[in-house]
């Protein structure tokens, strides 16, 4: 079965990240598939809603598949990667119909960014949210991604999450306003159906206007950050951390 399952369910386009044995970690092909799903949502007049979820119940998405970073040679590879991520995230944020992330289990790294680019997030109480790269790979995010996190969480919570490399509980994410609703796994299907019906009954252009206005406000003064990405992805720390992570070994951080 495909690692990304995209199906039209009446007016709802459903995207399922489908690598449950790897906590739905994203491959390059899955990133491309998500971008294609966004195109489909905008170009099929029958589609009125886009819903993203993860297979298996243990994760929404647990980041990008780390094994792919082993091929990175220098900072330019990191810049290319983050630009690719930003392209897909920007495409998801620009989708004209409402987008909903349904979060069960881990929503970390790239998964958190995908969820943040959606309009609404509903989650189960056992879900976790974070970007623990300061204790795992020693890499960094794009300026667009930092902006998304600050937009949703504020600068204090963003720095708390990133510097302490801590995972927020679903209750904390809900209290911060990131998660719109918490529902038990048993309640989730019915509540999702109710949410979908509500959104499908609203004026499409009113919802698009709200989405687009908020997006434009967020990106209005977005600075360039390629120099930050190149420095960190080109560092000795990052190149030592990738094989150490894959071998489940501890990293001796050097700061260079």
CATH number at residue 57: 3.90.226.10
Rounded to an integer, what distance in angstroms lies between the CA atom of residue 99 and that of residue 108? 19
One pLDDT digit (tens) per residue for the chain, 256 residues: 699 999 999 999 999 999 999 999 999 999 999 999 999 999 999 999 999 999 999 999 999 998 888 889 888 989 999 999 999 999 999 999 999 999 999 999 999 999 999 999 999 999 999 999 999 999 999 999 999 999 999 999 999 999 999 999 999 999 999 999 999 999 999 999 999 999 999 999 999 999 999 999 999 999 999 999 999 999 999 999 999 988 989 999 999 9
Residue 192 lies in a domain: no
Of 250, 249, 246, the C-alpha closest to 67 is 246
Residue 130 lies in a domain: yes
Residue 208 lies in a domain: no
Locate 252 and state its tokens.
């001796």
| 3-class DSSP assignment, residue 160 | helix
CB-based contacts of 170, cutoff 8 Å, min separation 6: 103, 123, 124, 125, 126, 127, 128, 129, 179, 182
Residue 179 lies in a domain: yes
Locate 212 and state its tokens.
């687009």
Rounded to an integer, what distance in angstroms lies between the CA atom of residue 173 and that of residue 181? 10
Domain that holds residue 16: 4-185
Residue 103 lies in a domain: yes
Residue 122 lies in a domain: yes
Rounded to an integer, what distance in angstroms lies between the CA atom of residue 124 and that of residue 252? 36
| 3-class DSSP assignment, residue 235 | coil
Residue 219 lies in a domain: no
Residue 175 lies in a domain: yes
Locate 89 and state its tokens.
């995230």
Give the chain's domain count: 1
CB-based contacts of 183, cutoff 8 Å, min separation 6: 122, 123, 124, 191
Locate 95 and state its tokens.
């989708």
Rounded to an integer, what distance in angstroms lies between the CA atom of residue 79 and that of residue 86? 10
CB-based contacts of 167, cutoff 8 Å, min separation 6: 108, 128, 129, 130, 132
Q: Are 94 and 39 in contact (CB under 8 A)?
A: no
């Amino acid at each position: 079965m495909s690692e990304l399952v995209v199906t039209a369910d009446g007016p709802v386009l459903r995207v399922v990240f489908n690598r449950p044995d790897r906590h739905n970690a994203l491959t390059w092909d899955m990133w491309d598939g998500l971008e294609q799903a966004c195109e489909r949502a905008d170009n099929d007049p029958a589609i009125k809603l886009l819903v993203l979820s993860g297979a298996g119940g243990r994760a929404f998405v647990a980041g990008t598949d780390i094994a792919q970073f082993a091929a990175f040679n220098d900072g330019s590879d990191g810049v290319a990667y983050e630009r690719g991520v930003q392209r897909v995230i920007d495409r998801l944020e620009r989708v004209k119909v409402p987008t909903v992330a349904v979060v069960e289990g881990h929503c970390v790294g790239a998964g958190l960014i995908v969820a943040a680019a959606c309009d609404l997030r509903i989650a189960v109480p056992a879900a976790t949210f974070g970007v623990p790269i300061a204790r795992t790979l020693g890499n960094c995010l794009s300026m667009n991604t930092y902006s998304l996190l600050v937009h949703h969480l504020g600068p204090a919570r963003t720095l708390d999450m990133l510097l302490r490399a801590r995972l927020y509980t679903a209750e904390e994410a809900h209290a911060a306003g990131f998660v719109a609703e918490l529902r038990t796994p048993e309640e989730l299907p019915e509540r999702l159906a109710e949410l979908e019906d509500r959104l499908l009954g609203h004026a499409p252009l009113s919802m698009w206007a709200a989405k687009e206005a908020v997006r434009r406000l967020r990106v209005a003064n977005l600075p360039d950050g390629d120099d930050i990405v190149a420095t960190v992805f080109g560092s000795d720390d990052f190149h030592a951390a990738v094989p150490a992570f894959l071998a489940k070994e501890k990293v001796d951080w050097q700061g260079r």
